Amino acid sequence: MLFRSIGEGARALFNARLRSQAVPCSCGSQVSECPFWKDIIREIDSETEKFGREKIRIPYLPLLMGPIKPRTFQNQFQQFLSKTEELYKLVAKNAGCKVIVDSSKNPPHAFMLSQIPGMDLYVVHLVRDPRGVISSWSKPKKYLKRLSVKRVILNLLSFNFLSELLRRYAKGYLLIRYEDLVHNPPETLKKIANFVNEDAKDLDFLEKTRARIGVQHLLASNPDKYTQGWISIEEQTWNLSRQKHLLVSLMTFPLLYRYRYPFSKTFFYEN
Ligand SMILES: [Zn+2]
């Protein structure tokens, strides 16, 4: 297998709560009992977990990215990177894959992976119309709590800005719009495979409007990860009140402009 998705690996590997009973692996097992993960997570010592949980966060990015770090912090960061490299190499070996697909969204995790000398980081920056994101986060889903409009807007502005900053650190950077992905999934996957200099082989699980999902071992992620078999792929509709639509559109205007979303609710596609 060339590609292997691990869900939000970097986010969950260093956060015991995300590997706890509350968020089982997508295979249905507890992460500590999952046949894929149980031996891998035993390799994570408490110091590595603590550094990952406390320091690989947005408030520490200036220090992580900056040229000068206190010596103790620099040593801890280097040890953390070595341990993380070992973990990802173990994942690749156990999965028998060449490309690990890690869908952690937090830019500090991607930056951290870019600093590992033995790995090449390719960033696929997936964006969605901010009004659709707001609508999606307004409803709780199993272990995912609803988020306030203010929280989502702050996340959208900071995560998208920092994701673009990753161009400077990653081996490659590719921008994909969610609306284009769901409009033509096979074409988008081929584009992503070419981006990492690989051919998109074995796409027989994927059609234009549906995909066949087998057993996977995804960490954290959306609760939809537990769905198996044929799933339909379609754009999720969203509907905001007129007032909220105007307010959110004004506050996220830089993103609407940057990613070519119309101010009014009309979609258009690239293809
Ligand atoms: Zn599993």
Residue 221 lies in a domain: yes
SS3 126: strand
Query: Considering just the CA atoms, what is the radius of gyration of the chain in Å?
Result: 19
Residue 59 lies in a domain: yes
Residue 9 lies in a domain: yes
Alpha helices in the chain, H assignment, sequence order: 9-13, 38-42, 46-55, 61-65, 71-95, 107-114, 130-137, 149-165, 178-183, 185-195, 242-251, 253-258
Residue 66 lies in a domain: yes
Reported as a single tens digit per residue, the pLDDT across 118-164 is 999 999 999 999 999 999 999 999 989 999 999 999 999 999 999 99
Q: Which two tokens stand for residue 47?
A: 């110091």
Q: How far, in Å, from the CA of 235 to the mean position of ligand 1?
A: 28
Q: How far, in Å, from the CA of 175 to the mean position of ligand 1?
A: 29
Range of the domain at 46: 3-258
DSSP 73-109: HHHHHHHHHHHHHHHHHHHHHHHT-SEEEE----HHH
Ranking 43-47, 53-57, 264-268 by mean pLDDT, the lowest is 264-268
Q: How far, in Å, from the CA of 33 to the mean position of ligand 1?
A: 8
Residue 143 lies in a domain: yes
> What is the CATH classification number for the domain harbouring 130?
3.40.50
Q: How far, in Å, from the CA of 168 to the mean position of ligand 1?
A: 34
Q: How far, in Å, from the CA of 215 to the mean position of ligand 1?
A: 8
CA distance 104 to 162: 14
> How many domains is the chain partitioned into structurally?
1
For tokens 């495979």, the residue is 193
Residue 163 lies in a domain: yes
pTM of the model as a whole: 0.93
pLDDT reported for residue 266: 54
Residue 33 lies in a domain: yes
CA distance 92 to 9: 12
Q: How far, in Å, from the CA of 30 to the mean position of ligand 1?
A: 7
- Is residue 113 over pLDDT 80? yes
Residue 90 lies in a domain: yes
